[in-house]
Amino acid sequence: VATDGQPRDRVDVIMDDIAPLMPGADLTAKALCHRLRRVAHQVEIHLRRELATFDIEPWELELLACLRRAGPPYQTTPSSLQDSMQLTTGAITKRVTTLERRGWVFRTIDPSDRRQVLVCLTDDGEKRAMDVFGTKTETEARVLAGLEHGTQQRLNDDLRLLLVQLEGPVPE
């Protein structure tokens, strides 16, 4: 694998081992899949360590953030949360239940369509979210600090292209 000046990473090592087993094959896509998984995993680990200080998990903060983004009165449906977080419906139910137990959200039935539930942010939940958002933002910036701003933007542009393919066009 010719990386020419750039320091090699662990994926290069893996590809070196694979190459002789697949002579002539193009390993670009395979290497990219490996790197995407590993980078995402590392980001998750850093974020979790940082948030542990505040006794909150990344996914808990993510759910609170979804509700904050909805704007006053800070409520949405589980379906909307599912679209935002890309999980199974069962996972959403359990996340909401956990946060309800912690007193950060509560459920109401939508009067206009009694099949739907409304997940609502409590005052405690909003306060907690506000306290920790800053730390999350700083951590995200610090984890990526090794990349120049322009590189980060280029990554965003390249990954946006891919994300539209994978998640479909944004609804509406």
Closer by beta carbon to DNA, 1 or else 106: 106
- Using CB under 8 A as the binding rule, whether residue 28 contacts its own copies is answered as yes
Evaluate whether 96 touches 62 at the Cβ level (below 8 Å): no
Pick left, alpha or beta for residue 103 (phi over 0 → left; psi -120 to 50 → alpha; otherwise beta): left
Residue among 2, 101, 112, 165 that touches its own copies (CB under 8 A) = 165
Evaluate whether 131 touches 123 at the Cβ level (below 8 Å): no
> Closest Cα to residue 75, out of 112, 114, 109, 115?
109
SS3 118: strand
Residue 18, contacted partner among DNA, its own copies, none, CB below 5-8 A by kind: its own copies
Q: Between residue 130 and residue 159, which ones bind its own copies under the rule CB under 8 A?
A: 137, 140-141, 143-144, 146-147, 149, 151-159
Give the sheet arrangement for strand 75-76, strand by strand: 75-76, 117-121, 105-109
The binding site for its own copies (CB under 8 A) comprises 3, 6-14, 17-18, 21-22, 25-26, 28-33, 35-44, 46-47, 68-71, 83-84, 86, 137, 140-141, 143-144, 146-147, 149, 151-167, 169-170
The binding site for DNA (CB under 7 A) comprises 48-49, 52, 57, 59-60, 77-79, 82, 87-98, 107, 113-117
